[in-house]
Amino acid sequence: MDARQPTILIVDDTPENLSVLGELLQPTFRVRAANSGRRALQIARAEPTPDLILLDVMMPEMDGYQVLAELKAADRTRRIPVIFVTAMDGTDDEERGLDMGAVDYITKPIRPSIVLARVRTQLELKAARDILSDQNAFLESEVARRMHENQLIQQVSIHALARLAETRDPETGKHLHRTQEYVRTLAEGLRSHPRFAHYLDQRTIDALVQSAPLHDIGKVGIPDHVLLKPGKLTPDEWEIMKTHAVLGCNAIAQAEADAAKPVGFLAIAKLIARSHHEKWNGSGYPDGLAGDDIPIAARLMALADVFDALTCKRIYKPAFSFDEASRIIVEGKGAHFDPDVVDAFIQRYDRFTAIAREHAE
């Protein structure tokens, strides 16, 4: 028997009817038979899955309508086309069967030419649907693969750009990974908060995490004698250092302008780069923003950046302990930091310390 022959399951509680249909179909198709609804379901769920089912309606214990309902309820069998074959020829019966999902309705006594024509029609339709389904599955897989590839290229590009800043300040090490995870932790802790829920959906959180490494990209524009100075900066040097926020924002804005279409994470990266040194009480830079005027993305980055700076050794200072860094951040609640962001930090403090240890220098 040709392995490519379609498989047809015929279901009828009368042996004579099974014999008639079997003799009609077997020369062309692989035929399986069931004399009850329960047996039909067993065969339909086994391999090979039938390509078509010819189903009697009037059967004891479990009628054809019940069999069809169970077929449609299961993922494995719901797409098998079903033709009702029955002596019930009322319009209401036919409508009921079609409404439940049957593809056709043949009345007994059967006429061989009609049965064969309708069987072939439904098998051709199923073959076309299968081809389309396979093509759609391939296309979906290809789209997913290319999206993943594009996201990977984008992430690598972001880190390559961010590393420019790191090459100017080699002590920052794994700073990028840590601050990304700190931002993610804060965002996830605040996503259901009344003040933040409108902003922190999953798409925005992903964009926040993606853009976080660009927060200090503007440091590439700071002269070495200021950026790498081992001691305390003079007032003039500090003013130069502070320009990195605007330099970074402007660089990202230019990249955004050069793009053929809007790039969501760049809009967030621009906000973070410019405003992550703003303070809740308005004493930060470069714009002296206060309270809710500071972009949410920048408020999260501000705390993440400070915690990392405190807990890491620098040329000009030793590393603070996690508890000491936590104390400083809590003291900054309502002054340096958004109070609710500090609360999220407190609630997820253990996660912060775990990230710091996982990505230690």
Q: Indicate where the chain has its CATH 3.40.50.2300 domain(s).
A: 7-139
The pTM of the full predicted model, rounded to 2 decimals, is: 0.59
Other CB atoms within 10 Å distance of the CB of residue 293: 11
- End-to-end distance of the chain based on CA atoms, in angstroms? 67
Distance CA 159, CA 214 (A): 8
Structure tokens at 201: 């959906």
Residues of the chain with CATH 1.10.3210.10: 169-358
Query: One digit per residue, pLDDT tens: the chain, 361 residues?
Result: 445 789 999 999 999 999 999 999 998 999 999 999 999 999 999 988 999 999 998 898 899 999 999 999 999 998 999 999 887 766 677 788 788 889 998 888 889 998 999 999 999 998 888 888 888 878 887 777 777 666 666 666 666 666 666 665 655 558 888 999 999 999 999 999 999 999 999 999 999 998 898 898 898 889 988 988 888 899 999 999 999 999 999 988 888 887 777 777 888 999 999 999 999 999 999 999 999 999 999 999 999 999 999 998 877 778 899 999 999 999 999 999 999 999 999 999 999 999 999 988 7
CATH 3.40.50.2300 fits 7-139, yes or no: yes
Return the sign of the alpha-carbon dihedral for residues 78, 80, 81, 82. negative
Could you name the CATH architecture of 169-358? Orthogonal Bundle (1.10)
Rounded CA-CA distance 161/191 in Å is 29
